[in-house]
Amino acid sequence: MNRDMDMTGIRNIIFDFGGVIVDLDKQRCLQAFQKLGLKDIASYVSEHRCEDLFFDMEIGRIGVEEFCQEARRITNSNVSDEQIIWAWNELLGDIAPWKIERLKELKKHYRLFLLSNTNPIHWHKCDKELDGIFEKAVPLLRTAPLETLRGNLPRSDKTGRSETRRDHIL
């Protein structure tokens, strides 16, 4: 955000999570799944399809345990839940310290909201770094209530809706 931009009249700022707040590294994630011998799962990540186990977890159709079971079934593998979670979390890069500081600075003057397609695995990894920065989250459905971010973020895995849907709040 340009510090010289005229923000007169602006009270709220909405941020996306992946690729904006947290950096993404698709290649590192692919390599992690391949390292575990989960080549078939790596192709799901590569294609970012909207009809697979990743999407099902993203919109809350399945939980983490079912996600890991399905990953093992698809790949005929015996890797642990922890290994699968590690590989999937390799998609996430860092949340740069300057971003956290900038968000804290903005929070002094604006209400900050987070709007995101995410899943419980990725959210769990980043939750502590973002604690207290966002007062509320923007729901992915017009009918979803505004809830406090900490533990109640109406992420796509909670609402069952993707942020790319037309019935999205924006």
Token pair of 13, please?
């700022």
What DSSP string describes the chain? --TTS--TT--EEEEETBTTTB-B-HHHHHHHHHHTT-HHHHHHHHHT-SSSHHHHHHTTSS-HHHHHHHHHHHHT----HHHHHHHHHTTB----HHHHHHHHHHHTTSEEEEE----HHHHHHHHHHHTTT-SEE--SSTTSPP-BHHHH---HHHHS--TTSTTS--
Q: Is it the case that residue 70 has pLDDT exceeding 70?
A: yes
* pLDDT, position 127: 75
Over residues 44-62, mean pLDDT: 78
Q: Find how far residue 153's CA is from the centre of its chain.
A: 11
Q: What's the chain's average pLDDT?
A: 77
Residue type, 31: Q
**Predicted confidence (pLDDT) per residue in 4-14, tens digit:** 777 788 888 88
Q: How are beta strands 136-137 and 111-115 bridged, if at all?
A: parallel
Identity of the residue numbered 66: E
Catalytic residues, by residue number, are 16
132 or 21, higher pLDDT: 21
Q: Where are the domains of the chain?
A: 12-23+95-159, 26-89
Q: What pLDDT score was predicted for residue 115? A: 75
Q: What is the CATH number of domain 26-89?
A: 1.10.150.240
Share of the chain above pLDDT 70, in %: 73
Residue-wise pLDDT for 115-144, tens only, equals 777 788 888 888 777 776 775 444 443 223
CATH class of 12-23+95-159: alpha beta
Q: Are 121 and 71 in contact (CB under 8 A)?
A: no
Instruction: Identify the pLDDT of residue 113.
Output: 82
Map tokens 């931009």 to a residue: 5
pTM, whole model, 2 decimals?
Answer: 0.72
Mean pLDDT of 89-117: 87
